[in-house]
């Protein structure tokens, strides 16, 4: 979840530690940082009274200072904190119950302890000085022991300083010791604590630092995407696991074997999926992997550059320049993947994502590592470490920043080919990209025929290649309306809509225009003539307004979208003293949308929809 979304989901007490931390950082930095000083002035230097969007802007301005402050605090913590931070910053763990995090920590500790014992046995069995795997592990272990015990010589508590750790990181890189092995070897000298109490103490410390938020009512930990990105930088993790998986999916079996061989990992009798899983969980540097490990030893620089060029194509990376050197091409890959999330969400509407998810849930028949049948939801829970009892839907996936692309790369290449054949997709080219195009273009067709959809013109829709049943026309119009509003960069708040809806009262659309202000939207289709049902529509929207206000939201406007309105309807809406109502025709919304899409930097605000009465779409379109 984005920081703004996290802040809107919490009360003032739950946000207090983060805001106090941010206030202190901004106050200290404003004296010598003009950008921060200017941003502070926009909120009258009162961060506690700032809105969520204003706090997000402040955080972006002070992010580098925040990173330094958090890194200093984490350096003073023990290894158990590092283990928990690693868990919290993984994909899918941005929103998780405390009890589930305790289970993940316990599971992780057991795996780590087992690896430590295994490494200890390998070190004890080392009798050769030939830089074999056992000898390399022994060298690193001896160096780490010295770094850890240096403080004892000066009568200080044993610890590894930042300088010592940076040297150990370089040593591990050259000895080709993976990150999970580094942590396991350190566990031999400085055992990581286990138990619920350890997790509880660490979570409280992280809250005090302003790293996490805790929703006490739901016993839930929330960590914003912006903070996760900073934690990854602190951990020297250049790429999220979900993006690393994309790279591994397009590498050949021989290249995966080369990576594993570089770190002394087993490759004989190991399946492709096991190879990918081992690399994912080893914490191998993606830069080392792309620059060195995946190639044969005698591979020339030119061949390495050509392989990276092909990798950029395979990952569908659209870059103006792909660079001339190996490092430049690696940078293009990493920068593109790190900035992919927002771009991928924008490429497909929430409705398109939902339709794609439903289609995959119906047609996907995979298997887990033990060979058991596995649904898409089960695959998601396993790969993203989601709780077994958690309901998987598109709203939840969006909250966890899991994009349509992320979803498809959880499915291995063989499974994707089976899906391609089941769903009758073209056999040439990348089946993942074909599937994304199908659901992106389906929404484009609905928007192109938006007016016909509003008028319930079934024949006209079929002539345009849109196969939809008459019973689904209202739902499709609602979904297309959401898509248009989303693509105009309005915040369609599905979480809030879901929370206020009941079996009886179901709002179509809610737009969040600030932390507390919202617009309630209703999408109405009408087959013959003008839409004229004011009394029933009025009862509906007033029930929605009441439910929103009960949740502390201020309803700035109600927006009703229909093919056209009767004169009585328009006059009744204008004269209603209980709610503020704006009316907009389907043709008018499409006109505004087309004007918005035609501009490179459109000047549009949700406030333009709050003028009241029948909105003049042509004037709004011109103002954009």
Alpha-carbon separation of residue 53 from 213, 456, 512, 555 (angstroms):
17, 39, 11, 18
For helices 253-262 and 272-282, the axis angle rounded to 10 degrees is 40
Q: How far is CA 317 from the centre of its chain?
A: 19
- State pLDDT tens for residues 487-505: 888 988 887 888 788 877 7
Q: How far is CA 500 from the centre of its chain?
A: 24
Neighbours of 467 (CB within 10 A): 6
For helices 431-448 and 473-487, the axis angle rounded to 10 degrees is 100
Token couple for 70: 């958090």
522, 508 Cβ separation under 8 angstroms: yes
Q: How far is CA 465 from the centre of its chain?
A: 34
Neighbours of 321 (CB within 10 A): 8
Among 21, 2, 13, 20, which residue's Cα sits nearest to residue 214?
A: 13
**Pairing mode, if any, of strands 366-367 and 373-374?**
antiparallel
Neighbours of 189 (CB within 10 A): 16
- State pLDDT tens for residues 404-447: 999 999 999 999 999 999 999 898 888 999 999 888 777 788 88
pLDDT at residue 524 is higher than 90: yes
- Cα–Cα distance measured from residue 130 to residue 296, given in angstroms and rounded to the nearest whole number: 21
Q: What percent of the chain has pLDDT over 70?
A: 100
pLDDT at 56: 86
pLDDT at 204: 95
Q: Where are the domains of the chain?
A: 241-338, 342-448, 491-623
Token couple for 253: 């079996």
- Cα–Cα distance measured from residue 128 to residue 250, given in angstroms and rounded to the nearest whole number: 38
The sign one gets for the Cα dihedral 236, 240, 245, 248 is: negative
Token couple for 317: 């990376």
**Pairing mode, if any, of strands 581-585 and 613-614?**
parallel
Average confidence (pLDDT) over 142-160: 84
485, 608 Cβ separation under 8 angstroms: no
- State pLDDT tens for residues 18-39: 999 998 888 888 878 888 888 7
- State pLDDT tens for residues 559-597: 999 999 999 999 999 999 899 999 999 999 999 999 998
Residues comprising the chain, all counted: 624
487, 593 Cβ separation under 8 angstroms: yes
The CATH number of 491-623 is which of 3.30.70, 3.40.1350, 3.40.50, 1.10.260? 3.40.1350
Phi/psi zone of residue 531: left (φ > 0), alpha (ψ -120 to 50 degrees), beta? beta
- State pLDDT tens for residues 448-495: 899 999 999 998 888 887 878 888 899 889 989 998 998 888 988 887
What does pTM read for this prediction? Answer: 0.76
- Give the HSE-up count for residue 152: Cα atoms under 13 Å, Cβ half-sphere: 6
Give the pLDDT band (50/70/90) at residue 510. Answer: very high
Average confidence (pLDDT) over 331-360: 88
Helix H segments across 295-411? 301-314, 326-338, 340-347, 350-363, 376-383, 394-399, 404-409
First to last CA, the chain: 29
Give the pLDDT band (50/70/90) at residue 158. Answer: confident
312, 329 Cβ separation under 8 angstroms: yes
pLDDT at 294: 93
Neighbours of 13 (CB within 10 A): 8
Average confidence (pLDDT) over 367-394: 90
- Cα–Cα distance measured from residue 426 to residue 269, given in angstroms and rounded to the nearest whole number: 33
Among 474, 475, 520, which residue's Cα sits nearest to residue 493?
A: 520
pLDDT at residue 201 is higher than 90: yes
Token couple for 93: 């763990």
- State pLDDT tens for residues 277-289: 999 888 889 999 9
């Amino acid at each position: 979840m984005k920081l703004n979304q996290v802040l809107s989901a919490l009360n003032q007490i739950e946000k207090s530690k983060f805001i106090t931390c941010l206030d202190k950082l901004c106050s200290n930095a404003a004296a010598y940082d003009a950008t921060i000083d200017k941003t502070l002035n926009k909120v009258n230097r009162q961060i506690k009274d700032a809105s969520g969007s204003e706090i997000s802007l402040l955080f972006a301005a002070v992010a580098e200072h925040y990173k330094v402050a958090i890194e200093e605090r984490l350096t003073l913590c023990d290894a158990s904190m590092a283990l928990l931070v690693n868990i919290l910053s993984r994909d899918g763990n941005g929103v998780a119950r405390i009890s589930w995090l305790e289970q993940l920590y316990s599971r992780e500790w057991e795996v780590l302890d087992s690896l430590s014992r295994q490494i200890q046995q390998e070190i004890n069995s080392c009798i050769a000085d030939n830089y074999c795997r056992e000898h390399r592990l022994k060298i690193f272990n001896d160096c780490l022991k010295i770094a850890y015990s240096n403080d004892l010589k000066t009568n200080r508590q044993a610890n590894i300083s930042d300088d010592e750790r940076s040297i150990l990181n370089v040593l591990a890189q050259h000895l080709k010791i993976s990150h999970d092995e580094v942590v396991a070897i350190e566990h031999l000298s400085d055992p990581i604590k286990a138990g619920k109490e350890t997790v509880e103490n660490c979570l409280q410390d992280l809250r005090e630092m302003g790293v996490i938020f805790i929703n006490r009512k739901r016993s839930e930990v929330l960590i914003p995407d912006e903070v996760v990105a900073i934690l990854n930088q602190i951990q020297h993790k250049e790429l999220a696991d979900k993006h690393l998986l994309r790279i591994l999916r397009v590498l050949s079996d021989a290249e995966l074997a080369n990576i594993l061989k570089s770190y002394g990992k087993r490759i004989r009798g190991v399946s492709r999926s096991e190879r990918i899983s081992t690399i994912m969980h080893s914490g191998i540097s993606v830069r080392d992997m792309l620059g060195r490990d995946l190639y044969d030893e005698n591979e020339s620089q030119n061949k390495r550059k050509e392989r990276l060029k092909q990798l950029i194509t395979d990952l569908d990376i659209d870059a103006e320049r792909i660079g001339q050197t190996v490092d430049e091409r690696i940078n293009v890959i990493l920068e593109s993947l790190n900035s992919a999330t927002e771009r991928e969400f924008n490429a497909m509407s929430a409705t398109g994502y939902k339709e794609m998810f439903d289609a995959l849930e119906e047609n996907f028949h995979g298997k887990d590592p033990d060979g058991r049948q596995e649904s898409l939801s089960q695959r998601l829970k396993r790969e993203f470490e989601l709780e077994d009892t958690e309901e998987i839907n598109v709203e939840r996936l969006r909250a966890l920043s899991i994009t349509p692309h992320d979803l498809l790369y959880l499915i291995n290449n063989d499974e994707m080919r089976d899906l391609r054949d089941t769903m009758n997709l073209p056999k040439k080219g990348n089946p993942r990209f074909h599937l994304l195009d199908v659901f992106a273009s389906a929404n484009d067709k609905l928007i192109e025929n938006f007016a016909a959809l509003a008028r319930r013109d079934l024949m006209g829709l079929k002539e345009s290649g849109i196969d939809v049943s008459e019973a689904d026309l209202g739902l499709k119009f609602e979904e297309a309306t959401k898509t248009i509003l989303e693509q105009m960069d309005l915040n369609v708040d599905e979480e809030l809509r879901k929370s206020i809806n009941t079996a009886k009262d179901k709002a179509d659309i809610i737009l969040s225009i600030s932390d507390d202000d919202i617009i309630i939207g209703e999408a109405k289709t009408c087959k013959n003539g003008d839409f004229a049902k004011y009394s029933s529509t009025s009862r509906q929207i007033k029930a929605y307004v009441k439910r929103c206000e009960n949740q502390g939201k201020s309803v700035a406007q109600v927006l009703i979208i229909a093919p056209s309105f009767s004169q009585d309807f328009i006059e009744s809406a204008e004269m209603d003293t209980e709610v503020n109502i704006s009316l907009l025709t389907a043709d008018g919304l499409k006109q505004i949308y087309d004007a918005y899409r035609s501009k490179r930097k459109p000047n549009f605000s949700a406030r333009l929809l709050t003028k009241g009465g029948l909105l003049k779409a042509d004037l709004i379109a011109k103002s954009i």
